[in-house]
Amino acid sequence: MSPVTRMTQNSPAKPKLELDPTVIRKARSLARKAGAPVVKITKTHTTVSVERAVLRLAGLSGADHEGVPWVNHLVDAVRDEVGLEHGVTTPVFDALRRGEAPDLLTLAQKSAADSVSFRVPQGRDGSAAQKLALRSVKPGMARIDKNRATRERLVKRHGNPKQRPWIYLIVATGDIYEDIPQAQTAAREGADIIAVIRSTGQSLLDFVPEGATREGYAGTYATQENFRLMRAALDDVSKELGRYIRLVNYASGLCMPEIATLAGLERLDMMLNDSMYGILFRDINPIRTFVDQRFSRQIHARAGIIINTGEDNYLTTADAVDAAHTVTVSQLMNEYFAKEAGLQDWQLGLGHAFEINPEIPDSFRMELAQALLARQLFPKAPLKWMPPTKYMTGDVFRGYLLDGFFNLVGTMTGQDILLVGMMTEAVVTPFLSDRDLALQNVRYVLNAAGGLAEDFHPPRDGFIQTRARQVLSEAVDLLEKIANDTTGQPGSVPLLQAIGDGTFGLMKRPADAGKGLDGVVKRAPGYDNPVSTLLERPTVSERRPPIAGSASDNPKGAEA
Amino acid sequence: MKASADIIRPYGDTTDDGMVQVSFTLPVPLDKRAEGAALQLAAKMGLAPALLVHAMAMGSDFTFFIVYGSVSHLVDLREVIVIEREFALLSAKDVNAAIKKRLHRKLVVVGACIGTDAHTVGIDAILNIKGFAGEKGLEYYSEIRVVNCGAQVLVPELVARARAEKADAVLVSQVVTQKDRHIHNTMTMSAAFREAYPAGKVPLLVVGGPRFEQGSADALGVDRVFGKGTTPGEVASYLVHAMATMREQTT
């Protein structure tokens, strides 16, 4: 498929769906209305994980002999003694100034042994500590900036994938040294993006494990060293293939801000990062999630990382026909929160999935309608298209066919990132041969029908156009309901109320419950976070999107 | 070879032709030797004659094969053991009526995915109103009160919740099976319940997932194991059946 194909399909002259622009504007303004009060709350809170991320940027890494990271020790020690209301850095750098220890690592080690005393410095001491903190996180930020520049240089040198969508493959052995050759093989077989799935338990760990890891459950632990090893291996294979291979991991769960930071420090290229996934599917406290998420997204914005959102998850619990609009609502909310945090359109890998029951008549047409709707609502976003899982059975032959249809929707509707479906989904961990067969499937469809987008124009008021409009209008109705949910106490936040009521995915998640709640701290008036200071400082340069062609095609941007 | 009614062979396109199809990968590069290796494996699996219909390189070190062949093994139907369902399937109406008659109150079911397992598909299919395979979930039953704790619930949390809700039955789903996590988690769970409750007062412990072996309930310390494809109606019917022997919960 040539780049021209994409230009044609995104041409503003002839949109595939005739959607009412006023309805789209209304949807975005409702998303803003629902999201803004939540953003306000995030600005008045911090979390243990945000504070630990700041220490990581200040250069503190490593763990004690039991594997407890030094950042955890130091944040816990400060919290026990003076609280985190003022941020961790002010008391920490004040302690360094007072000569409690020569450097951060020693300070953390001493704090683990309870032999340091912290205070919240006032006046001149306070501003001196804050100044020192700001100076100390600058090298970390510079490393993130440098990594971004390196990525841009390597993409220029090796090139982007020649076809669209980009092909996204998962490796997950649990052992980083087993993952590396698998990832390199996958790249040689055609994968453009490698995701290393995390060990299942990691999202609920309140610390980031250290070092290279060789044992995980249904995935490999996300650690800084694992990130580094895999990125280096993919750099080698990028050079060999003449194509920049992107690396994906997960900025989610209780350590979201730290993992986002490590991703920036080790030049990961994409991160799974959904605004509400942790709340709904991991029962993580809503405030914790939103605070962590905003910081993570600010880091991602700075690091030039593309986020991938997790709308596919809604459809695994709810019905993909009845709940289609919840996907659209989530995409709009993810877009709002992402842009508020400084991410640009080319960084929004909004997700959606092929999960309609194949037994339903016209299921394929409805999939087309939904995929086109996403394409048209977010014309500049690198949409992530995810394969069937819910209706995959032990019938691997039928599964292979379903994956073929999934690939067809992906190419017909101009999706950008295609997560390759495995016919053994729901049966076993994919065999080596399953991956190869899956890639054959993708190649056949792209090769045979890659240009079909050019010919495919659903008729006005036909089934597909009507279905897309219906989903959009249901999305607007739901957003209206959320934005105006005032069933709670006066002054309560409607979106949090809606999450508490079970509006999304049928799961009720009240704002005062959930995992990680005890790691949420309300900021005091003197709160200082040097990383936020740097992240929120207006940047001078608007950088070029690395996906050439995707940003300049359509003048009607997705402005939130 | 003439098969009686009890002795059967696979059916390709003719009675007793024994034809089967298998696919596998061998860790050798594609060449004549690799093909010979595939045929050797097929012969050892009982395929004679074996027809190597497809061989394809998977990278430089592996080859994928598809083999068709007539399998020499016979299946003796008399030796097949089937574990029959020990309870009658009831309609939702009958389930409700039975609970009402026996308990004079709602049956309390607490459900969760425990350990690191985050796959709520199974437990949700059984508990959520939405249900599974056209059957409504247990939430739909007027005489059942459902508490769905969701995913990655810690065992002590589950025990505490079961006590607080005065659970009659605890449903646990385990989808992740890597390194036998499901077995380990289930045994931890059942042990915790036995420890937390006085003997004879433990709620019914029911576990479900695609990889549990039939008949392994005793070894796991639970009352019943459900496998892949179980519907909410089956679970509800089982709960009613088990109530007959269940003592009134007081804790």
Nearest to B151 by CA among B132, B176, B179, B134: B176
Q: B128: pLDDT confidence band, cut at 50, 70 and 90?
A: confident
* B176 touching chain A per CB within 8 A: yes
| Matching residue, tokens 């101009």 | A414
Name the DSSP class of A69. Answer: B
- Mention the CATH class of domain A163-455: alpha beta
Residue A495's pLDDT band, with cuts at 50, 70 and 90, is very high
**What phi and psi values does residue A417 have, to the nearest 5 degrees?**
-125, 120
Structure tokens at A181: 């050759």
Q: Do B116 and A432 touch (CB under 8 A)?
A: no
- A9 pLDDT higher than 60: no
Domain with CATH 3.20.20.440 in chain A: 163-455
Query: Does residue A248 carry a pLDDT above 90?
Result: yes
Starting at the edge strand found earlier in the chain, the sheet holding B144-148 runs B144-148, B107-113, B169-173, B204-208, B224-226
Q: Which CATH number fits domain B92-243: 3.90.25.10, 3.40.50.280, 2.130.10.10, 3.30.1330.40?
A: 3.40.50.280
Give the pLDDT band (50/70/90) at residue A2. Answer: very low
Domain residue ranges in chain B: 7-78, 92-243
Q: State the alpha helices, DSSP H only, in chain B.
A: 32-44, 92-103, 121-127, 155-164, 181-196, 217-220, 232-243
Alpha helices in A383-493 (DSSP H): 396-412, 432-449, 452-455, 463-483
Average pLDDT, chain B: 88
Interchain contact, B59 vs A507, CB within 8 Å = no
Average pLDDT estimate for A344-370: 96
B100 is catalytic: no
Six-digit token string for B91: 């309609």
pLDDT value at position B130? 65
CB contact under 8 A, A185 and B59: yes
Residues 190-229 on A with a CB inside 8 Å of B are 199-201, 203-204, 217-218
Contact with chain A for residue B58, Cβ under 8 A: yes
B window 12-41, beta carbon within 8 A of A:
23-25
Is residue A5 pLDDT above 50, yes or no?
Answer: no
How many beta-carbon pairs under 8 angstroms link A with B? 61
Alpha-carbon distance A195 to A469, whole Å? Answer: 34
Q: What is the pLDDT of residue A296?
A: 98
Inspect the interface and report whether the beta carbons of B176 and A218 lie closer than 8 Å.
yes
Q: Is A302 helix (H, G, I), strand (E, B) or coil?
A: helix
Say if residue A423's pLDDT is above 80: yes
Which comes out higher in pLDDT, residue A270 or B148? A270
A542: DSSP letter = P
Chain B residues with CB-CB distance to A506 below 8 A = 128, 130
- Bridge partners (DSSP) of residue A353 are A386
Contact (CB<8Å) A506/B152: no
B93-107 average pLDDT score: 92
Per-residue pLDDT, B3: 47
What integer pLDDT is reported at residue A245 of this predicted model? 98
CATH number for the region B7-78 comes to 3.30.30.60
- Which residues of A are part of the catalytic machinery? 277, 312, 384
- Provide, rounded to the nearest whole percent, the portion of chain A with pLDDT above 90: 77
pLDDT at residue number B118? 64
Q: Decide if pLDDT at A552 tops 60.
A: no
Q: Which of residues 187-216 of B touch A (CB under 8 A)?
A: 210
pLDDT at residue A560, as a whole number: 30
**What average pLDDT does the segment A160-164 reach?**
94
What is the pLDDT confidence band of residue A348, given thresholds at 50, 70 and 90?
Answer: very high
Residue B242 exposed, middle or buried by CB count within 10 Å (0-12, 13-18, 19+): middle
Three-class SS of residue B102? helix
**Distance in Å from the first CA to the final CA of chain A:** 31
Whole-number Å distance between alpha carbons of A309 and A262: 19
Residue B63 in this model has a pLDDT that exceeds 90: yes
Contact A84, A48 (CB under 8 A): yes
- Whether B57 and chain A come into contact, CB under 8 Å, resolves to no
Tokens of A512: 């005062």
Residue A283: its chain B contacts at CB < 8 A? 150-152
